[in-house]
Chains A and B, each alone.
Chain A
Amino acid sequence: MQVYADNAATTKISSRALQAMMPCFEKFYGNPSSLHSVGQEAKEVLDEARAKVAACLGCEAREIFFTSGGSEADNQAIRSAAFYGAKKGKKHIISTAFEHHAVLHTLKALEKEGFEITLLDVKEGHNVTAQQVKDAIREDTCLVTCMYANNEIGSVLPISDIGAVCKEAGVPFHTDAVQAVGHLHINVKEQNIDMLSLSGHKFHGPKGVGALYVRRGLPLVNIIEGGAQERGKRGGTENLPGIVGMAVAMEDACANMDQNNAKVTAMRDKLIAGLEKIPHCALNGDRENRLPGNVSFCFEGIEGESLLLYLDAMGISASSGSACTSGSLDPSHVLLAIGRVHDVAHGSLRLSLSHENTDEEMDHILTAVPQVVELLRNMSPVWRDLQTGKREYIL
Protein backbone atom coordinates (compact mmCIF):
# COMPACT_ATOMS: atom_id res chain seq x y z
CA MET A 1 0.00 0.00 0.00
CA GLN A 2 1.32 3.43 -0.98
CA VAL A 3 0.41 6.20 1.47
CA TYR A 4 1.30 9.81 0.76
CA ALA A 5 1.32 11.51 4.15
CA ASP A 6 3.46 14.54 3.39
CA ASN A 7 0.82 17.01 2.25
CA ALA A 8 2.34 19.86 4.27
CA ALA A 9 5.40 19.57 2.02
CA THR A 10 3.32 19.56 -1.12
CA THR A 11 0.08 18.15 -2.47
CA LYS A 12 -0.90 16.31 -5.62
CA ILE A 13 -2.58 18.66 -8.06
CA SER A 14 -6.34 18.16 -8.32
CA SER A 15 -7.67 17.01 -11.67
CA ARG A 16 -9.95 20.07 -11.84
CA ALA A 17 -6.97 22.40 -11.35
CA LEU A 18 -4.97 20.53 -13.96
CA GLN A 19 -7.87 20.62 -16.42
CA ALA A 20 -8.28 24.35 -15.88
CA MET A 21 -4.58 24.93 -16.63
CA MET A 22 -4.47 23.14 -19.98
CA PRO A 23 -6.30 25.81 -22.07
CA CYS A 24 -3.81 28.39 -20.74
CA PHE A 25 -1.06 26.62 -22.64
CA GLU A 26 -2.88 26.13 -25.92
CA LYS A 27 -5.79 28.56 -26.14
CA PHE A 28 -5.09 31.45 -23.78
CA TYR A 29 -1.39 31.58 -24.53
CA GLY A 30 -1.38 35.33 -25.12
CA ASN A 31 0.49 37.79 -22.95
CA PRO A 32 -2.03 39.57 -20.71
CA SER A 33 -0.10 42.80 -21.30
CA SER A 34 -0.61 42.67 -25.09
CA LEU A 35 -3.18 44.96 -26.67
CA HIS A 36 -4.44 42.48 -29.29
CA SER A 37 -7.40 40.25 -28.67
CA VAL A 38 -5.30 37.13 -28.00
CA GLY A 39 -3.58 39.01 -25.20
CA GLN A 40 -6.78 40.53 -23.90
CA GLU A 41 -8.43 37.11 -23.73
CA ALA A 42 -5.57 35.98 -21.51
CA LYS A 43 -6.05 39.14 -19.44
CA GLU A 44 -9.69 38.20 -18.88
CA VAL A 45 -8.66 34.74 -17.69
CA LEU A 46 -6.13 36.36 -15.36
CA ASP A 47 -8.72 38.77 -13.94
CA GLU A 48 -11.13 35.91 -13.39
CA ALA A 49 -8.50 33.98 -11.42
CA ARG A 50 -7.69 37.06 -9.33
CA ALA A 51 -11.37 37.50 -8.49
CA LYS A 52 -11.61 33.86 -7.37
CA VAL A 53 -8.60 34.14 -5.08
CA ALA A 54 -9.92 37.41 -3.63
CA ALA A 55 -13.34 35.87 -2.99
CA CYS A 56 -11.75 33.04 -0.97
CA LEU A 57 -10.00 35.57 1.28
CA GLY A 58 -12.81 38.10 1.56
CA CYS A 59 -10.91 40.94 -0.10
CA GLU A 60 -10.97 42.92 -3.34
CA ALA A 61 -9.35 41.55 -6.51
CA ARG A 62 -7.00 44.53 -6.71
CA GLU A 63 -5.60 43.62 -3.30
CA ILE A 64 -4.19 40.36 -4.70
CA PHE A 65 -0.65 40.26 -6.13
CA PHE A 66 0.46 37.03 -7.77
CA THR A 67 3.97 35.81 -6.94
CA SER A 68 6.16 32.78 -7.55
CA GLY A 69 5.04 31.28 -4.25
CA GLY A 70 4.80 31.73 -0.51
CA SER A 71 8.46 32.55 0.05
CA GLU A 72 8.44 35.46 -2.40
CA ALA A 73 5.20 36.76 -0.87
CA ASP A 74 6.73 36.60 2.63
CA ASN A 75 9.86 38.40 1.46
CA GLN A 76 7.89 41.16 -0.23
CA ALA A 77 5.48 41.71 2.65
CA ILE A 78 8.20 41.94 5.27
CA ARG A 79 10.58 44.01 3.15
CA SER A 80 7.76 46.44 2.36
CA ALA A 81 6.74 47.01 5.96
CA ALA A 82 10.39 47.34 6.96
CA PHE A 83 11.16 49.88 4.24
CA TYR A 84 8.19 52.11 4.97
CA GLY A 85 8.62 51.66 8.72
CA ALA A 86 12.23 52.78 8.56
CA LYS A 87 11.13 55.91 6.68
CA LYS A 88 9.18 56.86 9.81
CA GLY A 89 12.04 55.88 12.07
CA LYS A 90 10.34 52.61 13.09
CA LYS A 91 12.75 49.70 12.95
CA HIS A 92 11.30 47.10 15.29
CA ILE A 93 9.60 43.91 14.03
CA ILE A 94 7.73 41.29 16.04
CA SER A 95 7.47 37.67 14.94
CA THR A 96 7.52 34.18 16.48
CA ALA A 97 10.35 31.74 17.08
CA PHE A 98 8.77 29.02 14.93
CA GLU A 99 8.16 30.89 11.66
CA HIS A 100 9.08 29.43 8.29
CA HIS A 101 12.60 30.22 7.11
CA ALA A 102 11.18 32.50 4.40
CA VAL A 103 10.18 34.79 7.28
CA LEU A 104 13.00 34.09 9.74
CA HIS A 105 15.80 34.50 7.22
CA THR A 106 14.29 37.71 5.86
CA LEU A 107 14.16 39.02 9.43
CA LYS A 108 17.74 37.92 10.02
CA ALA A 109 18.81 39.87 6.92
CA LEU A 110 16.92 42.93 8.20
CA GLU A 111 18.62 42.58 11.57
CA LYS A 112 21.95 43.00 9.79
CA GLU A 113 20.51 46.12 8.18
CA GLY A 114 19.83 47.63 11.60
CA PHE A 115 16.35 46.41 12.47
CA GLU A 116 15.55 45.03 15.89
CA ILE A 117 13.67 41.74 15.86
CA THR A 118 11.60 40.30 18.71
CA LEU A 119 10.78 36.61 18.30
CA LEU A 120 7.95 35.57 20.59
CA ASP A 121 8.44 32.45 22.69
CA VAL A 122 6.31 29.44 21.72
CA LYS A 123 7.10 27.00 24.51
CA GLU A 124 3.83 27.56 26.38
CA GLY A 125 1.18 25.43 24.67
CA HIS A 126 3.35 25.32 21.54
CA ASN A 127 1.64 28.52 20.46
CA VAL A 128 1.62 32.29 21.02
CA THR A 129 -1.08 34.48 22.54
CA ALA A 130 -2.34 37.85 21.42
CA GLN A 131 -1.25 39.13 24.84
CA GLN A 132 2.37 38.24 24.02
CA VAL A 133 2.07 40.30 20.85
CA LYS A 134 0.45 43.17 22.74
CA ASP A 135 3.21 43.18 25.35
CA ALA A 136 5.91 43.21 22.67
CA ILE A 137 4.54 46.13 20.64
CA ARG A 138 6.57 49.34 21.02
CA GLU A 139 6.41 52.88 19.71
CA ASP A 140 8.85 51.94 16.95
CA THR A 141 7.25 48.64 15.89
CA CYS A 142 6.69 48.71 12.13
CA LEU A 143 5.40 45.15 11.61
CA VAL A 144 3.95 42.12 13.35
CA THR A 145 4.39 38.97 11.26
CA CYS A 146 2.98 35.74 12.71
CA MET A 147 2.27 32.60 10.74
CA TYR A 148 -1.35 31.49 10.53
CA ALA A 149 -0.47 27.87 11.23
CA ASN A 150 2.82 26.11 11.77
CA ASN A 151 4.02 23.82 9.00
CA GLU A 152 5.81 21.30 11.22
CA ILE A 153 3.72 20.96 14.36
CA GLY A 154 0.33 22.19 13.12
CA SER A 155 -0.38 24.82 15.79
CA VAL A 156 -2.99 27.32 14.58
CA LEU A 157 -2.28 30.78 15.95
CA PRO A 158 -4.96 33.12 17.36
CA ILE A 159 -4.85 35.25 14.21
CA SER A 160 -8.11 37.16 14.79
CA ASP A 161 -6.97 38.18 18.27
CA ILE A 162 -3.52 39.19 17.05
CA GLY A 163 -5.17 41.13 14.21
CA ALA A 164 -7.31 43.02 16.72
CA VAL A 165 -4.29 43.86 18.87
CA CYS A 166 -2.35 45.14 15.86
CA LYS A 167 -5.27 47.19 14.61
CA GLU A 168 -5.66 48.83 18.00
CA ALA A 169 -1.95 49.64 18.14
CA GLY A 170 -1.88 50.80 14.51
CA VAL A 171 0.83 48.33 13.55
CA PRO A 172 0.67 46.53 10.16
CA PHE A 173 -0.01 42.80 10.54
CA HIS A 174 1.28 40.20 8.08
CA THR A 175 0.56 36.48 8.28
CA ASP A 176 2.29 33.66 6.44
CA ALA A 177 -0.84 31.61 5.75
CA VAL A 178 0.79 29.07 3.45
CA GLN A 179 -0.38 26.12 5.58
CA ALA A 180 -3.78 27.61 6.36
CA VAL A 181 -5.25 28.76 3.05
CA GLY A 182 -7.62 26.16 1.68
CA HIS A 183 -7.69 24.40 5.06
CA LEU A 184 -9.06 27.02 7.46
CA HIS A 185 -11.75 29.69 7.06
CA ILE A 186 -10.05 33.01 6.46
CA ASN A 187 -11.51 36.47 6.05
CA VAL A 188 -8.80 39.10 5.97
CA LYS A 189 -11.19 41.99 6.64
CA GLU A 190 -12.94 40.43 9.64
CA GLN A 191 -9.62 39.22 11.03
CA ASN A 192 -7.84 42.57 10.54
CA ILE A 193 -5.08 41.04 8.44
CA ASP A 194 -3.12 43.66 6.47
CA MET A 195 -0.96 41.28 4.44
CA LEU A 196 -1.22 37.54 3.84
CA SER A 197 1.04 35.11 1.95
CA LEU A 198 -0.20 31.94 0.29
CA SER A 199 1.13 29.20 -1.94
CA GLY A 200 -0.75 27.24 -4.61
CA HIS A 201 0.72 23.79 -4.12
CA LYS A 202 -0.36 23.39 -0.49
CA PHE A 203 -4.02 22.94 -1.43
CA HIS A 204 -3.80 20.75 -4.55
CA GLY A 205 -2.82 23.56 -6.90
CA PRO A 206 0.36 23.76 -8.98
CA LYS A 207 3.86 24.59 -7.73
CA GLY A 208 5.70 27.80 -8.53
CA VAL A 209 2.78 30.12 -7.92
CA GLY A 210 1.47 31.99 -4.91
CA ALA A 211 -0.06 35.28 -3.93
CA LEU A 212 0.28 38.16 -1.55
CA TYR A 213 -2.82 39.92 -0.27
CA VAL A 214 -2.13 43.52 0.65
CA ARG A 215 -4.78 45.75 2.20
CA ARG A 216 -5.51 48.67 -0.09
CA GLY A 217 -3.43 51.68 0.86
CA LEU A 218 -0.46 49.76 2.25
CA PRO A 219 2.58 50.51 0.09
CA LEU A 220 4.77 47.75 -1.38
CA VAL A 221 8.41 47.63 -2.42
CA ASN A 222 9.39 45.44 -5.37
CA ILE A 223 11.40 42.27 -4.98
CA ILE A 224 11.29 41.56 -8.74
CA GLU A 225 11.75 44.71 -10.80
CA GLY A 226 10.41 44.66 -14.33
CA GLY A 227 7.31 45.61 -16.24
CA ALA A 228 3.98 46.96 -15.13
CA GLN A 229 2.50 43.57 -14.24
CA GLU A 230 0.70 43.22 -10.90
CA ARG A 231 0.08 46.97 -10.68
CA GLY A 232 3.78 47.54 -11.13
CA LYS A 233 4.64 45.68 -7.95
CA ARG A 234 5.89 42.41 -9.41
CA GLY A 235 7.61 42.36 -12.80
CA GLY A 236 7.55 39.43 -15.19
CA THR A 237 4.94 37.98 -17.55
CA GLU A 238 2.24 36.37 -15.46
CA ASN A 239 2.38 32.59 -14.95
CA LEU A 240 -1.15 32.24 -16.28
CA PRO A 241 -1.42 28.42 -16.19
CA GLY A 242 -0.14 28.41 -12.62
CA ILE A 243 -2.37 31.27 -11.51
CA VAL A 244 -5.48 29.70 -13.05
CA GLY A 245 -4.67 26.28 -11.56
CA MET A 246 -4.13 27.82 -8.14
CA ALA A 247 -7.37 29.82 -8.33
CA VAL A 248 -9.44 26.75 -9.21
CA ALA A 249 -7.76 24.63 -6.52
CA MET A 250 -8.36 27.39 -3.98
CA GLU A 251 -11.98 27.81 -4.96
CA ASP A 252 -12.52 24.03 -4.59
CA ALA A 253 -10.63 23.85 -1.31
CA CYS A 254 -12.71 26.69 0.14
CA ALA A 255 -16.00 25.32 -1.19
CA ASN A 256 -15.36 21.81 0.18
CA MET A 257 -13.53 22.87 3.32
CA ASP A 258 -16.01 21.77 5.99
CA GLN A 259 -16.61 18.42 4.35
CA ASN A 260 -12.88 17.78 3.79
CA ASN A 261 -11.93 18.91 7.27
CA ALA A 262 -14.45 16.61 8.92
CA LYS A 263 -12.85 13.67 7.16
CA VAL A 264 -9.23 14.78 7.63
CA THR A 265 -9.70 15.71 11.30
CA ALA A 266 -11.15 12.28 12.05
CA MET A 267 -8.15 10.59 10.42
CA ARG A 268 -5.76 12.92 12.26
CA ASP A 269 -7.33 12.18 15.62
CA LYS A 270 -7.25 8.46 14.94
CA LEU A 271 -3.51 8.66 14.20
CA ILE A 272 -2.79 10.79 17.26
CA ALA A 273 -4.73 8.47 19.55
CA GLY A 274 -3.02 5.41 18.09
CA LEU A 275 0.53 6.74 18.07
CA GLU A 276 0.27 8.15 21.58
CA LYS A 277 0.15 4.56 22.82
CA ILE A 278 3.81 4.18 21.89
CA PRO A 279 5.80 4.55 25.12
CA HIS A 280 8.08 7.54 25.60
CA CYS A 281 6.68 9.74 22.87
CA ALA A 282 5.16 13.21 22.83
CA LEU A 283 2.76 15.04 20.56
CA ASN A 284 4.21 18.24 19.14
CA GLY A 285 2.02 21.28 18.63
CA ASP A 286 -1.17 22.70 20.03
CA ARG A 287 -3.62 19.87 20.64
CA GLU A 288 -6.76 22.02 20.51
CA ASN A 289 -5.89 24.64 17.92
CA ARG A 290 -4.43 22.39 15.29
CA LEU A 291 -4.37 22.06 11.51
CA PRO A 292 -6.87 19.38 10.45
CA GLY A 293 -4.20 17.28 8.73
CA ASN A 294 -1.20 17.60 11.06
CA VAL A 295 0.22 14.79 13.19
CA SER A 296 3.64 15.48 14.73
CA PHE A 297 5.43 13.36 17.30
CA CYS A 298 8.81 12.96 18.93
CA PHE A 299 9.88 9.40 19.79
CA GLU A 300 12.68 9.04 22.30
CA GLY A 301 15.73 6.90 21.54
CA ILE A 302 15.49 6.88 17.76
CA GLU A 303 16.44 9.10 14.88
CA GLY A 304 13.94 10.55 12.43
CA GLU A 305 15.80 9.82 9.24
CA SER A 306 15.93 6.08 9.95
CA LEU A 307 12.23 6.18 10.73
CA LEU A 308 11.51 7.85 7.38
CA LEU A 309 13.62 5.38 5.41
CA TYR A 310 11.89 2.38 6.96
CA LEU A 311 8.46 3.92 6.49
CA ASP A 312 9.33 4.66 2.87
CA ALA A 313 10.21 1.00 2.40
CA MET A 314 6.74 0.20 3.76
CA GLY A 315 5.12 2.57 1.25
CA ILE A 316 4.61 5.53 3.57
CA SER A 317 5.85 9.00 2.60
CA ALA A 318 6.34 11.09 5.72
CA SER A 319 8.59 13.84 6.98
CA SER A 320 10.77 14.62 9.97
CA GLY A 321 12.28 17.64 11.64
CA SER A 322 15.60 15.86 11.68
CA ALA A 323 18.17 17.60 9.57
CA CYS A 324 20.82 14.98 8.80
CA THR A 325 20.43 15.22 5.05
CA SER A 326 20.69 18.99 5.01
CA GLY A 327 24.22 18.83 6.36
CA SER A 328 23.27 20.51 9.59
CA LEU A 329 23.58 18.77 12.92
CA ASP A 330 20.84 20.87 14.43
CA PRO A 331 17.32 19.53 14.39
CA SER A 332 14.38 21.67 13.34
CA HIS A 333 14.26 25.17 14.82
CA VAL A 334 10.54 24.64 15.36
CA LEU A 335 11.03 21.64 17.64
CA LEU A 336 13.80 23.43 19.52
CA ALA A 337 11.57 26.51 19.84
CA ILE A 338 8.80 24.54 21.55
CA GLY A 339 11.37 23.26 24.04
CA ARG A 340 12.28 19.83 22.69
CA VAL A 341 15.93 19.14 23.49
CA HIS A 342 18.26 18.01 20.68
CA ASP A 343 18.23 14.33 21.65
CA VAL A 344 14.44 14.17 21.40
CA ALA A 345 13.97 16.59 18.51
CA HIS A 346 16.00 14.27 16.28
CA GLY A 347 13.40 11.55 16.73
CA SER A 348 10.54 13.42 15.15
CA LEU A 349 7.90 12.34 12.68
CA ARG A 350 5.40 14.48 10.80
CA LEU A 351 2.45 12.95 9.00
CA SER A 352 0.38 15.49 7.07
CA LEU A 353 -2.91 14.34 5.62
CA SER A 354 -5.24 15.44 2.87
CA HIS A 355 -8.83 14.55 2.01
CA GLU A 356 -7.41 12.13 -0.55
CA ASN A 357 -6.10 9.86 2.22
CA THR A 358 -8.26 6.98 3.40
CA ASP A 359 -9.09 5.26 6.65
CA GLU A 360 -7.35 2.09 5.41
CA GLU A 361 -4.19 4.12 4.94
CA MET A 362 -4.43 5.30 8.56
CA ASP A 363 -4.62 1.66 9.64
CA HIS A 364 -1.49 0.91 7.65
CA ILE A 365 0.34 3.84 9.30
CA LEU A 366 -0.85 2.71 12.72
CA THR A 367 0.57 -0.76 12.08
CA ALA A 368 3.83 0.42 10.53
CA VAL A 369 4.97 3.24 12.83
CA PRO A 370 4.93 1.31 16.15
CA GLN A 371 6.73 -1.60 14.44
CA VAL A 372 9.46 0.62 13.01
CA VAL A 373 9.87 2.55 16.27
CA GLU A 374 10.34 -0.72 18.15
CA LEU A 375 12.75 -2.10 15.57
CA LEU A 376 14.89 1.05 15.65
CA ARG A 377 14.82 1.24 19.42
CA ASN A 378 16.01 -2.35 19.62
CA MET A 379 19.20 -1.45 17.79
CA SER A 380 19.69 1.97 19.38
CA PRO A 381 22.48 2.34 21.96
CA VAL A 382 20.62 5.36 23.31
CA TRP A 383 17.49 3.30 23.92
CA ARG A 384 19.59 0.62 25.65
CA ASP A 385 21.09 3.24 27.94
CA LEU A 386 17.62 4.56 28.71
CA GLN A 387 16.33 1.11 29.56
CA THR A 388 19.29 0.21 31.74
CA GLY A 389 19.09 3.50 33.59
CA LYS A 390 22.40 4.86 32.31
CA ARG A 391 20.50 7.69 30.71
CA GLU A 392 17.35 9.36 31.96
CA TYR A 393 14.15 9.42 29.93
CA ILE A 394 13.16 12.87 28.76
CA LEU A 395 9.74 11.90 27.43
Chain B
Amino acid sequence: MALYSEVVMDHFMHPRNVGTIENADGIGEVGNAKCGDIMKIYLKSKTILSLT
Protein backbone atom coordinates (compact mmCIF):
# COMPACT_ATOMS: atom_id res chain seq x y z
CA MET B 1 0.00 0.00 0.00
CA ALA B 2 1.55 3.26 -1.10
CA LEU B 3 -0.45 5.28 1.39
CA TYR B 4 2.52 5.43 3.77
CA SER B 5 6.26 5.57 3.14
CA GLU B 6 8.40 2.44 3.35
CA VAL B 7 9.96 3.62 6.62
CA VAL B 8 6.58 4.15 8.25
CA MET B 9 5.31 0.80 7.02
CA ASP B 10 8.46 -0.96 8.23
CA HIS B 11 8.00 0.43 11.74
CA PHE B 12 4.30 -0.42 11.57
CA MET B 13 4.86 -4.04 10.55
CA HIS B 14 7.91 -4.47 12.81
CA PRO B 15 7.23 -2.31 15.84
CA ARG B 16 10.26 -1.28 17.90
CA ASN B 17 10.26 -0.25 21.55
CA VAL B 18 6.66 -1.21 22.09
CA GLY B 19 5.39 -1.98 25.56
CA THR B 20 5.28 -0.45 28.99
CA ILE B 21 7.96 0.38 31.56
CA GLU B 22 7.20 -0.45 35.17
CA ASN B 23 7.95 2.41 37.58
CA ALA B 24 8.61 4.83 34.74
CA ASP B 25 10.06 8.21 35.62
CA GLY B 26 7.71 9.88 33.22
CA ILE B 27 4.62 8.98 31.20
CA GLY B 28 3.28 11.09 28.38
CA GLU B 29 0.10 10.58 26.44
CA VAL B 30 -0.81 12.14 23.15
CA GLY B 31 -3.93 11.73 21.02
CA ASN B 32 -7.41 10.70 21.95
CA ALA B 33 -9.24 7.40 21.72
CA LYS B 34 -12.24 9.35 20.40
CA CYS B 35 -10.19 10.32 17.36
CA GLY B 36 -8.89 6.79 16.95
CA ASP B 37 -5.23 7.66 17.55
CA ILE B 38 -3.50 7.47 20.89
CA MET B 39 0.12 7.04 21.98
CA LYS B 40 1.59 6.59 25.41
CA ILE B 41 5.33 7.21 25.96
CA TYR B 42 7.18 5.83 29.00
CA LEU B 43 10.54 7.26 30.13
CA LYS B 44 13.07 5.70 32.47
CA SER B 45 16.29 7.59 33.12
CA LYS B 46 19.49 6.42 34.82
CA THR B 47 20.05 9.85 36.31
CA ILE B 48 17.26 12.24 37.06
CA LEU B 49 18.37 15.82 36.57
CA SER B 50 16.47 18.44 38.39
CA LEU B 51 15.67 21.42 36.25
CA THR B 52 14.87 23.72 39.13
User: What 0/1 pattern do residues 371 to 395 of A give for CB contact below 8 A with B?
Assistant: 0000000011110100000010000
Residue of B nearest to A310 (CB): B13
* Chain B min CB distance to A344 (Å): 9
In the docked arrangement, what's the CA distance between A309 and B1, Å?
A: 8
User: What 0/1 pattern do residues 310 to 325 of A give for CB contact below 8 A with B?
Assistant: 1011000000001011
Binding site of B, secondary structure by majority: helix, strand, loop or mixed?
A: mixed
Asked if A331 CB lies within 8 Å of chain B CBs, one says yes
**Chain B residues closer than 8 Å to A331, beta-carbon distance:** 36
Cβ-defined contact, A322 with B36, below 8 A: yes
Cβ-defined contact, B1 with A305, below 8 A: no
A381 is contacted by which of B1, B12, B15, B38 (Cβ under 8 Å)?
B38
**Chain A residues closer than 8 Å to B4, beta-carbon distance:** 309
In the docked arrangement, what's the CA distance between A236 and B37, Å?
A: 46
**Chain A residues closer than 8 Å to B18, beta-carbon distance:** 379
Residue of A nearest to B39 (CB): A381
* Chain B min CB distance to A9 (Å): 15
In the docked arrangement, what's the CA distance between A384 and B33, Å?
A: 12
Cβ-defined contact, B33 with A329, below 8 A: no
Asked if A194 CB lies within 8 Å of chain B CBs, one says no
Cβ-defined contact, A305 with B20, below 8 A: no
Binding site of A, secondary structure by majority: helix, strand, loop or mixed?
A: helix
In the docked arrangement, what's the CA distance between A324 and B35, Å?
A: 8
User: What 0/1 pattern do residues 296 to 307 of A give for CB contact below 8 A with B?
Assistant: 000000011110
Cβ-defined contact, A343 with B33, below 8 A: yes
Cβ-defined contact, A329 with B15, below 8 A: no
Known: A324-B36, A324-B37, A346-B36. 11 other contacts (CB 8 A): A303-B36, A309-B9, A312-B1, A322-B36, A342-B33, A342-B35, A342-B36, A346-B35, A347-B36, A379-B19, A381-B38
Q: Which 6 A-B pairs have the closest CB atoms?
A: A346-B36, A381-B40, A342-B34, A329-B35, A343-B33, A303-B36
List 15 A–B pairs whose Cβ atoms lie within 8 Å, in order of A's numbering.
Answer: A303-B37, A309-B4, A322-B36, A324-B37, A325-B3, A329-B34, A329-B36, A331-B36, A342-B36, A346-B33, A347-B36, A380-B38, A381-B29, A381-B39, A384-B40
